[in-house]
Amino acid sequence: MPDAVKAYLHSRPRWIRWREWLVGRRYAFAAFPGRPKPLVVVAYSRRDSVKALEMVRAVEQGWAEAPQQCRDAYEEILKDAPELVIIQFRRTNICGCLGHRHVVVKEQPFAEPHDALGGDPAGELDIAYQRVESWLALPLMDIALDAQFVAGSRLREFQAERLRLQFLSILLHEINHMVRSQEPEASVRERSLAFYRDALAQYVEDAKASLSLTIDRSFSRFERD
């Protein structure tokens, strides 16, 4: 599927491709490991390429490393998802929200169904990554875990992983809305926050198990508690 989408994008008139290139529009692709769909297309500005790569890693690495029960909660949702899910990856939203599901696809190359894209309509959402960076999904848990890492050498690694899991939970949240538009917001939010909470807790446990607490000070707070 990624090759078909890349071929489609390359098959468009040269002047369209050059215009996109000059204004800095770029596309990256991510697939959920072990799943046939959806293929995630990250549409981003060239200046945001580093953060866009983290979005790709969130899908490909974050999903693979999440606990099985987290993935199971989205099994049927992803099964019913569109073949293509477009993320308009931006710095901010005027409304201040983390992201939205779009009723109509706005990213021009994917606005209409195309045989090269499977012939079915795509789904689309946006994510405002600077807003996500300042968001505490579960404030008490996030602050507590931040404190555990603050004196150690792995704080930056922890914060990067947390951001990727935030990206992934928002993506899953909005795909949930695409597939089950009548499901109450409270139910959708509970599912996505549970994914984030359990996946982040698993990461911390794995990090603790991989370190010698007497050598690495990443968990020095545990030694005093």
pLDDT at 138: 62
* Mean pLDDT of all residues belonging to the chain: 84
Comparison of pLDDT for 125 and 111, the residue scoring more: 125
pLDDT at 207: 74
Binned at pLDDT 50, 70 and 90, residue 94 comes out as confident
- Range with top average pLDDT, 36-45, 152-161, 210-219: 36-45
The dihedral formed by the CA atoms of 190, 193, 199 and 203, expressed in degrees to the nearest 10: -150
Q: By C-alpha distance, which of 37, 48, 25 is closest to 78?
A: 37
Let me know: does 58 contact 167? Beta carbons within 8 Å.
yes
Lowest pLDDT segment from 7-21, 35-49, 99-113, 148-162: 148-162
Name the pTM for this structure.
0.85
For the chain, give the percent of residues with pLDDT over 90.
Answer: 53
Cα(10)–Cα(8) distance, rounded to whole angstroms? 5
Cα(225)–Cα(209) distance, rounded to whole angstroms? 17
- Please name the residue that has the structure tokens 């109509």: 104
Starting at the edge strand that comes first in sequence, how are the strands of the sheet with 99-102 ordered? Answer: 25-31, 39-45, 84-90, 123-128, 99-102
pLDDT at 222: 41
Domain residue limits, the chain: 2-212
pLDDT at 2: 80
Question: Packing angle between helix 185-209 and helix 155-179, nearest 10 degrees?
Answer: 150
Comparison of pLDDT for 212 and 40, the residue scoring more: 40
Let me know: does 214 contact 158? Beta carbons within 8 Å.
no
pLDDT at 144: 54
DSSP string spanning 28-90? EEEE-TT-S-PEEEEEEEGGGHHHHHHHHHIIIIIHHHS-HHHHHTTHHHHHTS-SEEEEEEE
pLDDT at 116: 65
pLDDT at 156: 78
Alpha helices in the chain (DSSP H): 2-11, 14-23, 49-57, 63-65, 68-72, 75-79, 129-133, 139-149, 155-179, 185-209, 220-224
